[in-house]
């Protein structure tokens, strides 16, 4: 019944669909930004769209979403070209170039917005919603536009999949193959700009970079394959968008954009801890298993060496003798060896090697010698 209520409400249904489309689109493209180590690119482009929004309003006198987003796309693209120009014509590093572009355009946007607020211009109120987003203002026409652009982005990803993949992992090799690396770079960056512009109304200039990068960062923990990473990133973004919208609609005065970012951030944290192979929990578990295995093997070799001093590999020794060499870990290590059938209890607190344990100890000692 709750699900029916969500989709029977026009505003909520519109925002959920818009959030899911934005999350899927930005998540898919964010995968390439993360792999190319361009984490700051989304932040720089998102902040650089602010002057375009203000200028579009000043020049047209309208706050129609399409007009403002076109202005945002223009300055976002100009900021991207500035970054590329700095990188090619100077020795400035990429992170510095991104910071320069972000500062120039965002500073200009704040100045223009402050100027507009002081002018006797009608309908100027509401421009600041693009700073943090205002998802509730999303209309059906906006969702249709987002859907069309999302389909275009998807088609471009499919058509240039091999090229974008090679560009992300080995651009030098792509250049030796004769691929137009510079044009492909501009195309991929342009698609990222479009994705960022799509999200301005929902999550705003300040938070849009998180929407681009967080789903990809989460997806990266679960796989080493690009296709799976893109699909997972799109899924994480879409689900986070839908869940964030539902949560914000259930709590009064809770903004949708920041809530979506919080949800997708939870996905990142969970992925960092729980993802197999890369997750911290599994890493801790592997390290614990390695330490335990090392302690067990050390106890086995120590027992073998002590017994060999008495002329027989089966000569029993007390736990205290092993504890002198290993400390408190000795008792647990001996119990583990017993469970594996490598040692056996010989009388009260005495331990001796079994035949299998003797063979295993010899193998470990030979391995250490080599």
Same domain, 167 and 291: no
370: its two tokens: 């080599």
Over the stretch 339-351, which tens digit does the pLDDT of each residue have? 888 888 876 778 8
**Distance (Å, whole) CA 214 – CA 228:** 16
**Distance (Å, whole) CA 134 – CA 205:** 11
* Tokens 């849009």, residue located: 208
Residue 98 has pLDDT above 60, yes or no: yes
Mean pLDDT of 44-67: 84
Identify the pLDDT of residue 4.
57
- Looking at 16-20, 31-35, 207-211, 267-271, which range is the least confident one? 207-211
Look up the CATH number of the domain holding residue 327: 1.10.10.10
Residues in Cβ contact with 7 at an 8 Å cutoff, skipping those fewer than 6 apart: 13, 16
Residues in Cβ contact with 41 at an 8 Å cutoff, skipping those fewer than 6 apart: 33, 80, 83, 98, 189, 192
49: its two tokens: 């769209």
Same domain, 287 and 247: no
Same domain, 218 and 261: yes
Identify the pLDDT of residue 288.
84
Same domain, 199 and 289: no
Q: Count how many domains the chain has.
A: 2
Q: How far is CA 33 from CA 48, 89, 186, 337, in A?
A: 17, 22, 13, 49
* 227 — pLDDT class (breaks 50, 70, 90): very high
- Which residue, 63, 191, 198, 70, is CA-closest to 142? 198
Same domain, 291 and 221: no
Mean pLDDT of 67-83: 86
- Partner residues linked to 345 by β-bridges: 351
Of 260, 278, 296, the residue that ends a domain is 278
- Looking at 76-80, 113-117, 118-122, which range is the least confident one? 118-122
**Distance (Å, whole) CA 342 – CA 54:** 76
Same domain, 200 and 241: yes
Q: Please give the share of the chain, as a percent, with pLDDT higher than 70.
A: 93
Identify the pLDDT of residue 307.
80
| Helix axis angle, 280-308 to 329-339, nearest 10° | 90
Residue 322 has pLDDT above 70, yes or no: yes
- Which residue, 281, 299, 282, 290, is CA-closest to 338? 299
Of 278, 311, 343, the residue that ends a domain is 278
Residue 229 has pLDDT above 90, yes or no: yes
318: its two tokens: 């007390």
Identify the pLDDT of residue 159.
93
Identify the pLDDT of residue 369.
67
Residue 127 has pLDDT above 60, yes or no: yes
**Distance (Å, whole) CA 259 – CA 270:** 17
Question: Strand order of the sheet with strand 317-318?
Answer: 317-318, 350-353, 343-345
Look up the CATH number of the domain holding residue 190: 1.10.3470.10
88: its two tokens: 């090619």
Residue 287: give the domain boundaries. 281-369
**Distance (Å, whole) CA 196 – CA 139:** 18
Of 262, 278, 294, the residue that ends a domain is 278
- Looking at 3-17, 46-60, 179-193, 207-221, which range is the least confident one? 3-17
Residue 360 has pLDDT above 70, yes or no: yes
Same domain, 174 and 255: yes
Same domain, 204 and 311: no
**Distance (Å, whole) CA 299 – CA 311:** 19
Same domain, 305 and 255: no
- Which residue, 346, 292, 290, is CA-closest to 319? 346
* 367 — pLDDT class (breaks 50, 70, 90): confident
Mean pLDDT of 54-68: 82
| Helix axis angle, 181-220 to 10-35, nearest 10° | 110
Mean pLDDT of 326-343: 82
- Looking at 82-91, 128-137, 296-305, 327-336, which range is the least confident one? 128-137
- Looking at 73-77, 296-300, 365-369, which range is the least confident one? 365-369
Same domain, 241 and 289: no
Same domain, 230 and 353: no
Residues in Cβ contact with 187 at an 8 Å cutoff, skipping those fewer than 6 apart: 156, 160
Query: What are the backbone angles phi and psi of residue 353, rounded to the nearest 5°?
Result: -75, 145
Identify the pLDDT of residue 340.
85
Q: How far is CA 60 from CA 47, 122, 286, in A?
A: 21, 12, 61
Mean pLDDT of 42-48: 83
Same domain, 259 and 353: no
Mean pLDDT of 48-53: 87
Residue 126 has pLDDT above 70, yes or no: no
């Amino acid at each position: 019944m709750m699900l029916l209520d969500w989709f029977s409400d026009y505003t909520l249904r519109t925002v959920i669909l818009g959030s899911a489309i934005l999350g899927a689109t930005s998540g898919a493209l964010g995968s390439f930004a993360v792999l190319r180590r361009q984490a700051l690119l989304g932040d720089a482009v998102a902040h650089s769209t602010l002057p375009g929004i203000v200028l579009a309003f000043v020049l047209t006198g309208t706050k129609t979403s399409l007009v403002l987003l076109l202005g945002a796309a223009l300055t976002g693209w100009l900021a991207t070209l500035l970054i590329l120009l700095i990188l090619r014509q100077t020795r400035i590093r990429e992170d510095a170039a991104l910071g320069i572009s972000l500062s120039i355009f965002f500073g200009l946007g704040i100045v223009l917005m402050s100027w507009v607020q002081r002018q006797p211009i009608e309908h100027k109120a509401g421009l600041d919603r693009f700073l943090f987003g205002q998802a509730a203002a999303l209309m059906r026409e906006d969702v249709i536009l987002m859907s069309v652009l999302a389909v275009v982005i998807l088609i471009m990803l499919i058509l240039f999949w091999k090229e974008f993949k090679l560009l992300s992992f080995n651009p030098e090799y792509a250049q030796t193959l004769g691929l137009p690396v510079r044009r492909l770079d501009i195309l991929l960056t342009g698609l990222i700009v479009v994705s960022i512009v799509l999200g301005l109304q929902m999550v705003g200039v300040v938070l849009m970079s998180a929407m681009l990068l967080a789903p990809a960062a989460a997806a990266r923990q679960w796989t080493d394959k690009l296709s799976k990473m893109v699909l997972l990133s799109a899924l994480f973004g879409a689900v986070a968008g839908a869940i964030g919208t539902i949560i914000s609609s259930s709590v009064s005065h809770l903004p949708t954009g920041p809530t979506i970012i919080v949800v997708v951030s939870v996905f990142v944290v969970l992925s960092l801890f729980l993802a197999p192979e890369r997750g911290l929990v599994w890493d801790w578990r592997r390290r614990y298993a390695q330490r335990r295995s090392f302690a067990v093997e050390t106890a086995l070799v120590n027992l073998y060496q002590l017994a060999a001093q008495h002329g027989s590999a089966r000569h029993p020794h007390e736990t205290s003798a092993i504890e002198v060499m290993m400390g408190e870990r000795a008792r647990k290590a001996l119990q583990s060896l017993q469970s594996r059938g490598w040692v056996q209890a010989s009388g009260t607190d005495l331990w001796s090697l079994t035949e299998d344990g003797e063979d295993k100890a010899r193998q470990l000692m030979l391995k250490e010698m080599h």
